[in-house]
């Protein structure tokens, strides 16, 4: 039984890490796409290409990845009985915040597609740092388990 749990744990952990990498890549790319999108001429063919690229990134990478991150993460925490661990509670708080950030990016992409350019390129460049900062905190919580 212990061998099955250990094997399952390793596969769940591998799946979780793989989809976290995909999700993070998408979260780094989408705000950068927004910068280029906003720098394009409104109504131009280039702007239309950015709308298409953003939609594909969301549909092909971001949405499937966030779903699988949560599926593997919940399965991993359940299989290992981590639900009572304080470090997991802190990690979940940051992952929920990153999930909300993801949702905000999706809503901003839809606004951009309609021609609404509410943020500056500088602000979007700053937002591009959010996933990296969250990743640092989450990795420390999972590896070091400071509490």
pLDDT exceeds cutoff 80 at 62: yes
Can you give the pLDDT at residue 111? 96
Can you give the pLDDT at residue 7? 86
How many CB atoms lie under 10 A from the CB of residue 13? 16
Which domain covers residue 58, as residue numbers?
2-144
**Cα torsion 124, 126, 130, 131: sign:** positive
Encode pLDDT of 82-121 as tens digits: 999 999 999 999 999 999 999 999 999 999 999 999 999 9
Instruction: Please compute the mean of the pLDDT values over residues 13-38 and round it to a whole number.
Output: 97
Residues comprising the binding site? 16, 91
Can you give the pLDDT at residue 3? 77
Residues comprising the binding site for heme? 16, 91
Can you give the pLDDT at residue 1? 62
Please give the backbone phi and psi of residue 119, each rounded to the nearest 5 degrees, phi first: -115, 155
**Cα torsion 78, 81, 82, 86: sign:** positive
pLDDT exceeds cutoff 90 at 15: yes
Q: How many domains does the chain have?
A: 1
Q: Is the pTM of this model over 0.95?
A: no
């Amino acid at each position: 039984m212990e061998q099955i749990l250990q094997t399952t744990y390793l596969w769940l952990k591998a799946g979780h890490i793989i989809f976290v990498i995909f999700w993070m890549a998408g979260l780094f790319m989408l705000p950068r796409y927004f910068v280029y999108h906003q720098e394009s001429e409104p109504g131009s063919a280039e702007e239309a290409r950015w709308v298409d690229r953003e939609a594909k990134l969301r549909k092909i990478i971001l949405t499937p990845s966030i779903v699988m991150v949560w599926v593997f993460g919940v399965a991993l925490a359940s299989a290992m009985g981590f639900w009572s661990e304080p470090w997991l509670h802190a990690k979940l708080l940051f992952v929920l915040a990153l999930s909300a950030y993801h949702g905000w990016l999706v809503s901003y992409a839809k606004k951009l597609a309609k021609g609404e350019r509410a943020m500056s390129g500088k602000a979007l460049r700053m937002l591009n740092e959010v996933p990296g900062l969250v990743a640092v905190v989450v990795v420390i919580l999972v590896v070091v388990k400071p509490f």
